[in-house]
Amino acid sequence: MPELLISDLKKSFGKTIAVDGVSFNVTGGEIVGLLGPNGAGKSTTFLCAAGLLRPDAGTFSWDGRELGSKRGQTIALISETPDVYPMLTVWEHMVFVAKSCRLPADWQARANDLLERFDMAAQRDTLGNALSKGMRQKTLVAATVLAATPVILFDEPMVGLDPLGQRELRGIIRHLRESGTAIVMSTHMLEQAQTICDRVVILKSGRIVASGTFEELQARSGTHGTAEDLFLELTR
């Protein structure tokens, strides 16, 4: 399976070190949870990976090929406030992605299929500013899948979603995993992370303090309580 490899990522803002030598990998068809307290460097890592923030040091590679400044074409970021164009309809987002990514002629059938699958067919002609947060997230995921972006970074995807929205998004993320997409997801919802993530990487003050499956981390730390107990123990 192809693999996203982030190596020795460093980023400072003035004297504040946001990310300090972070390295981890995620393979296609895997979900890695990026956990950590506020200010740990999760969002900075994501912005650097998506090519929206210039790192001070570090490399990104996909399938053994180093990604340069155009890594935004390989790695898509879906932020906590899913940003869609307020004055474009859901379908127009699809059209723009298809045109700008020069997709083959059959893209319309695929786009329609995606909207059906994500239960968004009824919102096809709805403007971005009239969509709920869940719908905006689904629009972005559908656009990303349509563009065949192999890596998706979800920054706090569950925040602000109702229980049904959370369940739907979990289903979509699992579906993406099954289709071979490499997924990194940051969240403060530890139970969710335990349920959905194959592995977790825990950051604190810009550094990785632990990584592995929950079971491995529990065994290593000797903590046998909940995911929350484990997290608090590791980030204390």
Partner 1 sequence: MNDFVTLAYLDSHQLLHRVQTIFRQPGRALVYVLVIGYFVMIQMLRSHTRLPVVAVAVPEPFASAIMFSFVALIGVITYGAASGFVGVFSSAADARFLCGSRIPEATVVTWLQLRRCASMVLRTAFAILLYAFVPHAVNFASTGLIGFTVIAGTLFTAATAVPMLKLRAAVGSRFARTFAAAIVAAGLLPLAILLGSLLSPGLDPWAHAIQSIGAGYAINALFHGNAAGLTSFYAAAAAMLCLSFVTGRDLYPELYASSLRVQTFRQRRRRLPGFVTGERAYQASGPLAPSRIFEGARGAWTIAWKEWIAFMRAPGARRMFWFGLIACALAGAILGNVAKHSRNPLGTALALGVSISNMVIIFITIASSFGLAEDLRKPLWWMGPDPIWLRLLAWVLATSWRLSICMAIGIIVFAATLGLSVIAVAGIPIAIATAVYLRSIGLALYALLPSGLDQRGPLAMLRALLTYLFALPAIAASVTAALITHSLAMSVSAGIALALAEALLLIAFAAVRIQGRGATFAQAEAA
State yes or no: residue 84 binds partner 1 (CB under 8 A): yes
State yes or no: residue 132 binds partner 1 (CB under 8 A): no
Assign residue 200 a region (left: φ > 0; alpha: ψ between -120 and 50; beta: otherwise): beta
Give Cα separations from 14 to 18, 136, 221 (angstroms).
10, 34, 34
Range 8-37, binding partner 1 (CB under 8 A): 14
State yes or no: residue 79 binds partner 1 (CB under 8 A): yes
Question: Contact at 8 Å (CB) between 2 and 63?
Answer: yes
Closest to partner 1 by CB, 139 vs 187, is: 139
State yes or no: residue 108 binds partner 1 (CB under 8 A): no
State yes or no: residue 179 binds partner 1 (CB under 8 A): no
Distance CA 35, CA 211 (A): 10
Contact residue for partner 1 among 5, 17, 88, 209 (CB under 8 A): 88
User: Taking the complex as a whole, how short is the minimal distance between the CB of residue 197 and partner 1, in angstroms?
Assistant: 23
State yes or no: residue 100 binds partner 1 (CB under 8 A): yes
Classify burial at 86, counting beta carbons within 10 Å of its beta carbon; exposed 0-12, middle 13-18, buried 19 or more.
exposed
Closest to partner 1 by CB, 144 vs 194, is: 144
By CB under 8 A, which span of 99-107, 156-164, 190-198, 211-219 interacts with partner 1? 99-107
Distance CA 119, CA 96 (A): 20
Distance CA 46, CA 36 (A): 13
State yes or no: residue 142 binds partner 1 (CB under 8 A): no
By CB under 8 A, which span of 28-36, 141-149, 159-167, 169-177 interacts with partner 1? 141-149
State yes or no: residue 4 binds partner 1 (CB under 8 A): no
Distance CA 233, CA 175 (A): 32
Give Cα separations from 171 to 39, 57, 83, 176, 177 (angstroms).
29, 35, 21, 9, 10
Contact residue for partner 1 among 89, 194, 211, 218 (CB under 8 A): 89
For CA atoms 32, 37, 38, 39, give the dihedral sign: negative
By CB under 8 A, which span of 35-43, 96-104, 176-184, 204-212 interacts with partner 1? 96-104
Distance CA 108, CA 98 (A): 8
Closest to partner 1 by CB, 135 vs 200, is: 135
Distance CA 101, CA 96 (A): 8
Chain residues that interact with partner 1, rule: CB under 8 A: 14, 50-54, 68-70, 72-73, 76-77, 79, 81, 83-89, 92-93, 95-97, 99-102, 127-129, 140, 143-144, 147, 149
